[in-house]
Structure 1
Amino acid sequence: MNEKELKANEQLTNHFVQDLNINPDLSQFEDDSFDVICNVVSVDYLTKPLEIFQEMHRILRPGGVSLMTFSNRLFATKAVAMWLQADDIGRLTIVASYYNYSADWKSIEALDIKEKQPLPERPPTQK
């Protein structure tokens, strides 16, 4: 989000604007200073994911939770190439590898939270 969007959110008490693709360093935050870290539908745009995931691990308190959400909708002109070439399972693997290779994360779990829809009935075939 940009500065204007963040300032418009009256529920925020403070905020930081930083392009993580230019500067993945989160040194403005102390070690073990967050209970939860959320990345909502932007992991597919990270060009320095290992550095960012290492920093997330550093600033997350022991027992804290890191949530990475993504969907099959994206800005193709901004997403990294391997993301564009992957299917849903491949994208889960990409995110899992970011966790696995960046730090000593204790548990990595993937959840599919989309609502299951009943399959429509097939129309009868014409004879």
Structure 2
Amino acid sequence: MTDEPAFPANAFAKQDGSDDADFYAEPRFVTHIDDGAIAALTSFYRRALTEGAVILDLMSSWISHLPEDVPFADVIGHGMNADELRNNPRFQRWFVQDLNRDVHLPLAAQSVDAVLIAVSIQYLEKPIAVLKECARVLRPGGRIIISFSNRCFPTKAVAIWLALGHEDHARLIELYLEHAGFDGIATHILCDGVAGDPLIALSARITQS
């Protein structure tokens, strides 16, 4: 399923419509989920990602939550702040790009094994177009992992995200993935939120050659 679904008018509008580059101009060397959620995400990555894989960490920062004991062939970072990306020790290379202005990823088709989007999907104004680009750069059988919690910069999150509850966020991401051409979509509850931040991850694969 790759046709575009019909979303409500202004579904991807934001309270703050100013340039995202200005909003992210100053580096933020902070974490956006608590230690328990970070540990759960790292553990999930350890199980889900293959040693020696080429990883694209999309919409990232100074920390990737990748397991330190798993070597990867290449970890490519993307984000909105060069200082944050420069300070991420896992990145062999990285690039700054506003995906709300330009969805095209500067990577060759079928060049990565996994794409990660950690607690950032809520900021995309053209999420299906971006995920179609992720599908393009993934090798057949490649995996995407999108995680989310209940935290965000509310003025920069899209309206549809703010209007939905936590469980509906998972269904929204599933809808994005379906319409971007992904298969085998699965939802994983990594932290239930009882004793800390909730964390849910959706994983999917691209099977077309």
TM-score normalized by structure 1? 0.85
Separation in structure 2 between the aligned mates of residue 81 and residue 115 of structure 1, nearest angstrom: 24
Question: Of 11, 18, 35, which aligns to 2:97?
Answer: 18
Query: Alignment identity in percent?
Result: 34
Bigger CA radius of gyration? 1
Question: Of 187, 190, 194, which aligns to 1:110?
Answer: 187
Gaps of 5+ in 1: 119-127
User: Which amino acid is 1:65 matched to?
Assistant: R
Q: 1:74 to 1:116 in 2, by over 3 A?
A: closer
CA-CA distance at 1:10 after TM superposition? 3.7
For 1:72, the equivalent position in structure 2 comes to 150
Secondary structure of 2:171's match?
helix
The answer to whether structure 1 residue 8 and structure 2 residue 93 are counterparts is: no
Separation in structure 2 between the aligned mates of residue 76 and residue 62 of structure 1, nearest angstrom: 35
Question: Of 34, 37, 48, which aligns to 2:112?
Answer: 34
Q: In the TM superposition, what whole-angstrom CA distance separates every residue of 1:22-80 from its partner, at most 9, and x where no partner exists? A: 11111x21111111100011100100111101000111111111000110111110100
CA-CA distance at 1:116 after TM superposition? 6.9
CA-CA distance at 1:101 after TM superposition? 1.1
Question: What is the root-mean-square deviation in Å for CA atoms of aligned residues?
Answer: 1.5
Q: In the TM superposition, what whole-angstrom CA distance separates every residue of 1:78-117 from its partner, at most 9, and x where no partner exists? A: 10001001011110111001001122x1211111100575
Higher helix share: 1
Higher strand share: 2
CA-CA distance at 1:9 after TM superposition? 2.5
For 1:124, the equivalent position in structure 2 comes to none
Separation in structure 2 between the aligned mates of residue 10 and residue 83 of structure 1, nearest angstrom: 31
Separation in structure 1 between the aligned mates of residue 131 and residue 193 of structure 2, nearest angstrom: 31
Gaps of 5+ in 2: 1-78, 196-209
User: Which amino acid is 2:117 matched to?
Assistant: N
User: Which amino acid is 2:151 matched to?
Assistant: R
For 1:121, the equivalent position in structure 2 comes to none
